[in-house]
Chains A and B, each alone.
Chain A
Amino acid sequence: MLRIVILGCVLGILPGALGAVEPAGSRFGNIAIPDPAKPVGSDQCVEPVEIMRRDHMKFLLHQRDETVIDGARDSRYSLVGCMDCHNPASADGKVVRYEDPQHFCAECHAYASVKIDCFECHADRGLNQSQQSRVDTHGPAWRETGSLLTASKIQHRARASDEE
């Protein structure tokens, strides 16, 4: 819990507040402000940037049980989906690892001194480019709304439409 609060404060408020004043790639004293990789092949994240900064870990934590226990693999908040957009495998086979400082996740986590263990098991890069066209990681919920809906609302809506 403490970790989430600290991460939320640092990731959400500090860079958010600074970002409004300072351009990306700038420095705070002698520390570089994180400028994580923008999504590839899409101009929009699953939620607005300020919400993702503060709450991405909650989305992922909620999502992981839904996936493992209930088999929801096309959900909006999938970690594979993050990696597909923000760290796809490049055509030349070059892979950016979580250990690399320029990895999408590592950049802010290093800045905020947050240690995560997601990538001890999970793939830290997206699928091959050839596979990307086959897999829609954001699923129907994302295509349908593309807006501010929480996972539970989406599920509720999907259940309601299935029962009709």
Chain B
Amino acid sequence: MKNDPSKPARSSRRGFLQAAAAIATTLVAPGIFLYRTGPADASGLDREARWGMLIDTNVLGEADVDACVSACRREHGWQAENGSQTDAQWVRKIRLEEPGSGHRKFLPLMCLHCESPPCVDVCPTGASFKRADGIVLVNKHTCIGCRYCMMACPYKARSFIHENLKDQLPVAPRGKGTVESCTLCVHRIDRDGADAVPACAEAVNQGGRKAILFGNLNDPHSEITRRLRELGGTRLRADMGLNPGIRFQGL
């Protein structure tokens, strides 16, 4: 056997190529790059961005969270009319109640678009993937419906489609036998970039308030990073080290 698995020939070759590429990008001449990735891409994707949201639970009431859920449902055409436990649920209404005082808080919980998503780790076909701009999606062309990702997700963010569907919307293809979850309204982001507003944010940001703030976590000057710097934001289950792109205030 020429390819002896005990010898790390492939990995060292890859390492050499990566190092060579890194040198090539930096050493040609000042300001001149052999190869550079960036927002100037033929696609709608900003490779230097990391999209996220900051959800202010101090501002959101129960009616607001209901509005989030129904806005998402309208935008993507998922229904929960039967009330069955197996219905798709891209975003859930979560109620937190303090036992002593009875103080209640409501928040929408959807895919948090982790930096290290466990759903991507476990996917056997690579259908569960993270886009270059940090959005975690299911490529339904390659999803085989094994539902490992649903088991792996600590936020219960993903749903499986059990029934044949009709009247799907052009922006949200959905079909039996595949897993789906919040896409962060990726079709709006590809169209509008940093000016995009996901449907749930649009539903609750009426009248100039910013109950759900969408923005680029990699841009130090964006409003979301400024607010995170000033006021902080909670990562849900930060102990797992997944670094979600969706953060919460007031928890």
Contacts and interface: CB of A to CB of B under 8 A. Distances in A.
Contacts of A71: 43-45, 131, 133, 186, 189-190
B178 A162 contact: no
A72 B42 contact: yes
Interface residues of A, number: 24
B131 A123 contact: no
A121 B190 contact: no
A26 interface: no
B141 interface: yes
A47 interface: no
Contacts, number: 68
Nearest to A122: B173
A30 B42 CA distance: 48
A74 B42 CA distance: 10
A80 B44 CA distance: 16
B188 to A, nearest CB: 10
Contacts of B131: 69-71
B164 A127 contact: no
A64 interface: yes
A123 B169 contact: yes
Contact of B164 (A66, A74, A120): A120
Interface in B165-185: 165, 167-170, 173-176, 178
Contacts of B73: none
A31 interface: no
Contact of A122 (B42, B168, B190): B168
A127 B169 CA distance: 8
Given A73-B191, A120-B176, A123-B173, A68 B42 contact: no
A130 to B, nearest CB: 14
Interface in A33-53: none
A163 interface: yes
B140 interface: yes
Contact of B40 (A73, A74, A127, A162): A162
A154 B43 CA distance: 11
Contacts of A72: 42-45, 190
Given A64-B141, A69-B131, A163 B173 contact: no
10 contacts: A64-B141, A68-B139, A71-B45, A71-B186, A73-B191, A120-B176, A122-B173, A123-B168, A158-B42, A162-B40
